[in-house]
Structure 1
Amino acid sequence: MASHGIPQVSRHLVDTFDRQHTYLRMSLTERCNLRCTYCMPEEGVPLRPKDQLLTTDEILTLADLFVRQGVTKIRLTGGEPTVRPDLLQIVQGMGQLKAKGLQSLGITTNGLVLKRKLKDLSLAGLDALNISLDTLDPHMFEIMTRRKGFDRVMEALDRAIEIGIPRIKLNCVVMRGVNDDQVLDFVALTKTMPIRVRFIEYMPFDGNQWKRDKLVPYQELIQRIGSTFGQMEKCTDDPNDTTKLYKVPGHIGHVGFITSMTEHFCHTCNRLRITTDGNIKVCLFGNAEVSLRDLLREPHADQQALDDRLLPVIGAAVRKKKKQHAGMFELAASKNRPMVLIGG
């Protein structure tokens, strides 16, 4: 054991480039109550039968296994995780893993039905919140998401700040000619809100009709912000963080940039993903997946027997992780799940 009761990182979570995978993203559902243009094809996605999806117990079993192997951070994604009826039960179960070494439990959500759930989720152990919001204009919100609900999202953000959730982030996917004219409005939020506004470079996924000319490189955004707010202060980035972090002098919040397309961060990647149907996915942009669900459902004598079955498969998948993902044009031409079926 490492200090403070945190397990050492198991060899099964270390790849051939010596990257230690201590961050697990778990997709809880394929369903979503929005239809964001960059995330879900307009016609929607075919949903898998319920019996192919991980159950509550299976999700918690996998979370427990990964924490015992050295995972210290878990983020729940979707689809939209708040539409899953057993979300609170899942968060409560994972909250108990903090006694085994889990340090952070977060969720990525569109915030539409979040407000009334927040207090209970916080009490259950949720300590990090990412809200996906790509516009501060109610009319544009409806165009981009193909649904109404902007006011409810902002109410959820205010409620999260009021409750005192420690780490609150707004994720904004920037698309040229769509919402890039609102970047400065998002930055202005950090003047009075203790949040991180993160601008995400537009990425290609199946069905989102990605085009190179819609991509706004982060350096361009920095220049735009600087021309209005003055030069931002560069903050120290966390070792495995995907975000290049900045601060406008005098603002209480921060501004970050996720630069997957122009400056990848593969060399420090510590992330693994579990899909809704129980596959392990070692790279957001890779299409290689291995089923853990089927192994979970085979009869086993005890926990050790299940561990002995799962860990070699997990380790083999991790060791096959590539040094870095393909370039933007190769990614645009490749087949991958739509973003809604990965969860970011």
Structure 2
Amino acid sequence: MMMPLRCLSELARRRRGCCRPDHAVDAMRTGLQCLMSTCSSTKATDNHSFSNTYATSCANLPEVAPSEAPLSDMLVDSFGRFHNYLRISLTERCNLRCQYCMPAEGVELTPSAELLSHDEIIRVADLFVTSGVDKIRLTGGEPTIRKDIEDICLHLSGLKGLKTLAMTTNGLVLSKKLPRLKECGLNALNISLDTLVPAKFEFMTRRKGHSRVMESIDAAIELGFQSVKVNCVVMRGMNDDEICDFVEMTRDKPVNVRFIEFMPFDGNVWNVKKLVPYAEIMDKVRQRFNGVERLQDHPSETAKNFKIDGHAGTISFITSMTQHFCAGCNRLRLLADGNLKVCLFGPSEVSLREPIRAGVDDAGLREIISAAVKRKKAKHAGMFDIAKTANRPMIHIGG
């Protein structure tokens, strides 16, 4: 149960051994008020059949997936899901303007003073890792444009208990940074690439740079990163004609190409007609390639993973819209402005930056985080209701 705001404020004062000025209490209240809001709960259907391609499997309370033993109760929600995976957005800025991520006119960015500092990021990350998080993914915006990215990686990789330090990047300036990033402990990469056609790349991202992204993929392979994934958001009439070309990419390159269903966020002009369902993509792949075999997925895995006979790499499908994976969700998101988001598609957020700057100690932060995690819904609202729910642009949330 969430501690009343008045009690939590008093608890923080006692722990510090002094009284804080009223404006500090107000700052913490700002961070906690978001906990009072709830994600919308709506109806949809759970259908794993290829024939019903638009079913959003959200009808029934999901069975809780098996989880590893948590180090603390802070990361366990009311449905027994243990969240050992934290995604940290380092910046809202990006050097691309991808159409599914950002409105054409851009977005209003949070002032720099209201973004988490290097030390605040490390402090919060350490709090999560000591509570059981063993995987951190750095996102943006575009994380590689943050000037202290190498130092952040170095400090994060040194946290005891962290097994995987990953990053999702557009790859535009990645290749030159990769050797140092690997030295600093980065060991897994997701590189976004939605087309293999340079001219189409410029249209989709509103910027040039296709060749540089390809160079980054090759550099990551050559440097021996333990995981190199290529994220492809599939959009009808845009790049759905390249599905098999992306699969062909895995024949010689030991990469995992992940086809991601187009998802609705503020400003990306989402329309169900643009959505290419997993079932349809899978049909195209099977018609073209023989020996497509399903791999065993971890209970918390977001992707459906496949291997193909004779291919060095693999392919996967992120089916957020047509076949959700909420029951095994183990992810939390720390936004660049310090807000904690427990569900990608839920509007509810709680500020950690405000309590930190108000002087709340680690024990107090743990209580705020725990209360937010406990309020996480069993599942997201479903494809069509997500599209009608106010949420931030993806550039603010983090990829």
- TM class by shorter-chain length? over 0.9
1:86-125 → structure 2 map (5 Å cutoff): 86-97=148-159, 100-125=160-185
Q: Give the structure 2 partner of residue 338 of structure 1.
A: 393
> Structure 2 matches for 1:12-51, cutoff 5 A?
12-51=74-113
Pick from 368, 371, 383: which aligns with 1:316? 371
Alpha-carbon distance in structure 1 between the residues aligned to 2:83 and 2:294: 26
Task: Within 5 Å, give how 1:97-176 maps onto structure 2.
Answer: 97=159, 100-176=160-236
Cα deviation 1:293-322 (Å, max 9, x = unaligned):
11111236xxxxx21110110000000000
Per-residue Cα deviation, 1:253-289 (whole angstroms, up to 9, x for no partner): 0000000000000000000000100011000000100
What residue in structure 2 maps to residue 52 of structure 1?
A: 114
The Cα of 1:231 is off from its aligned counterpart by 4.5
**Structure 1 length as normaliser, TM-score?**
0.95
**Where do 4+ consecutive residues of structure 1 move more than 6 Å?**
none
Q: Is the 8 A contact 1:7 1:69 kept in 2?
A: no
Q: Give the drift of 1:8.
A: 3.9
- Local SS of the residue matching 1:321: coil
Distance 1:22 1:251 in 2: 31
Runs of 5+ in structure 2 lacking a partner?
1-67
Which AA in structure 1 matches 2:80? D
Q: CA deviation at 1:134?
A: 0.2
Give the SS at the match of 1:159: helix
Residue 257 of structure 2 corresponds to residue 197 of structure 1: yes
Contact kept in structure 2, 1:7 and 1:101, CA below 8 Å:
no
CA distance in 2, matches of 1:343, 1:308: 27
Within-5 A mapping of 1:251-330: 251-299=311-359, 306-330=361-385
Letter in 2 for 1:166: Q
Cα distance in 2 for residues equivalent to 1:7 and 1:291:
27
Which TM-score applies when normalising by structure 2?
0.82
| 8 Å Cα contact 1:129/1:165 also seen in 2 | yes
The alignment of Structure 1 onto Structure 2 pairs a total of residues equal to 332
Deviations along 1:134-189, one digit per CA (max 9) or x if unpaired, are: 00000000000000000000001110000001100000000010000001010001
Partners of 1:51 and 1:88 in 2: CA distance: 21
Which string of whole-angstrom CA distances, capped at 9 and with x for unpartnered residues, describes residues 226-268 of structure 1?
1111241010112211000001111110000000000000000
Partner Cα separation in structure 2 for residue 288 and residue 152 of structure 1: 37
User: Of the two structures, which has the highest relative contact order with CA contacts closer than 8 Å and spacing of 6 or more?
Assistant: 2
**d(CA) in 1 for partners of 2:190, 2:395:** 15
Q: How does 1:158-237 map to 2 (within 5 A)?
A: 158-237=218-297
C-alpha RMSD over aligned residues:
1.1
Give ranges in structure 1 of 5+ residues lacking alignment: 1-5, 301-305
